[in-house]
Structure 1
């Protein structure tokens, strides 16, 4: 096991001081290799030392502006700070350079979601789901963004697939209820909202939607 692998293992074991010593040694031995700076930046992110992490990622990019994982690291850093425009810039550069990983596409998509640019988010969330089809969060966020982009017919099977993977997903039931309302299927909507509330009794949106439907049904019966 080389020194870099040892350092990564120490980081996984949360032995951060030992990992830092090894990464520092790697950088001293190979000062022009961006990988050491990127790994040290990743370690500092684990330690919540974002200011120093940024400096290490930026140093890696000074050495190699095509270092996709340095852009990804900076993207993560700015995403954690809710600076979605800067995060978006770095995630996009990472992807454009060739970082074909689900996390990068997902987080890039979510930077658009947080800025309510739902249609722009769609291709990235779709790609994340394609690369990692078993990830429930990727799939749900893709379905939600489809719905928010008014692609209701496309969103419906995505939420249904979420429930195939996890039949206790209250938000998937809630969103299927909203789609049923859009389709003017009141009884179907009520059923979905009730299932959401069985799973999560404090689901405020489902409770409000159920009340509106029952009030409308009661008013029609009067």
Structure 2
């Protein structure tokens, strides 16, 4: 049965969802109390956009094994994709409580809180994610953004500088550095950051607008 599930997981990655569904159906028929098969089927359903059905399968896995962290995490991701952030938070917390203390879980919690505008909680979770995986550029970037949203501008600049040190083509990090420097009234440095963002991504609308507004302000001075 484990071979069927491994094969199903491979088929999902290859986009062969019908074949994967057939194997998972067989696995569940052979052992209706195999929580892992329900988690894998939930993942498949989430991938193809059948999110309500995916939640049903994750919940079934949790009924069978109330400590299955991957079921809670999968349900959390699916709720997040539906913009049901409070439900997602509950699931991610359960995943962590049941041993999934990895950076991704804290990162997703941070995104939930950020989308809800609860920035102090978002900040704490993004910080934990960066501590658990210092090489996670997405977590580091979100941490920097959230520092800026909580008006910790100098700290935000320091973190966003770490982002562009790790990824010199991170246009959004350059743009947000531009906003931070503009907030500090360092027009020259802000303009430099907006231009760097546009060099990487010429169609970056926010950086383009920021550059235009800043140039107008500098001309008026």
**TM-score (ref. length: structure 1):** 0.88
SS where residue 2 of structure 1 aligns? helix
Q: Deviations over 1:73-121 (max 9, x none)?
A: 1111111111111111111211122212222221111011111111111
Q: Deviations over 1:93-152 (max 9, x none)?
A: 111222122222211110111111111111221222233333322221111111111222
Paired position in structure 1 for 2:18: 17
Paired position in structure 1 for 2:185: 184
The answer on 1:97 being equivalent to 2:94 is no
User: 1:148-187 residue pairs with structure 2 within 5 A?
Assistant: 148-187=149-188
The answer on 1:69 being equivalent to 2:53 is no
Paired position in structure 1 for 2:144: 143
1:199 Cα deviation after fit: 2.7
1:209 Cα deviation after fit: 3.1
SS where residue 151 of structure 2 aligns? coil
Q: Deviations over 1:145-177 (max 9, x none)?
A: 111112222211211111112222222122222
> Distance between the aligned counterparts of 1:217 and 1:7, measured in 2?
59
User: 1:43-58 residue pairs with structure 2 within 5 A?
Assistant: 43-58=44-59
TM-aligned CA distance change 1:97 to 1:194, over 3 Å: same
> Distance between the aligned counterparts of 1:197 and 1:12, measured in 2?
34
1:56 Cα deviation after fit: 1.0
Aligned residues: 220
Paired position in structure 2 for 1:86: 87
1:198 Cα deviation after fit: 2.7
> Distance between the aligned counterparts of 2:102 and 2:12, measured in 1?
21
> Distance between the aligned counterparts of 1:50 and 1:196, measured in 2?
36
- Name the Cα RMSD after superposition: 2.0
1:212 Cα deviation after fit: 3.6
Q: Deviations over 1:16-46 (max 9, x none)?
A: 2222222222222322231121111112212
SS where residue 83 of structure 2 aligns? coil
TM-aligned CA distance change 1:215 to 1:46, over 3 Å: closer
- The structure having more radius of gyration, on CA atoms, is 1
Structure 1 alignment gaps of length 5 or more? none
1:57 Cα deviation after fit: 0.9
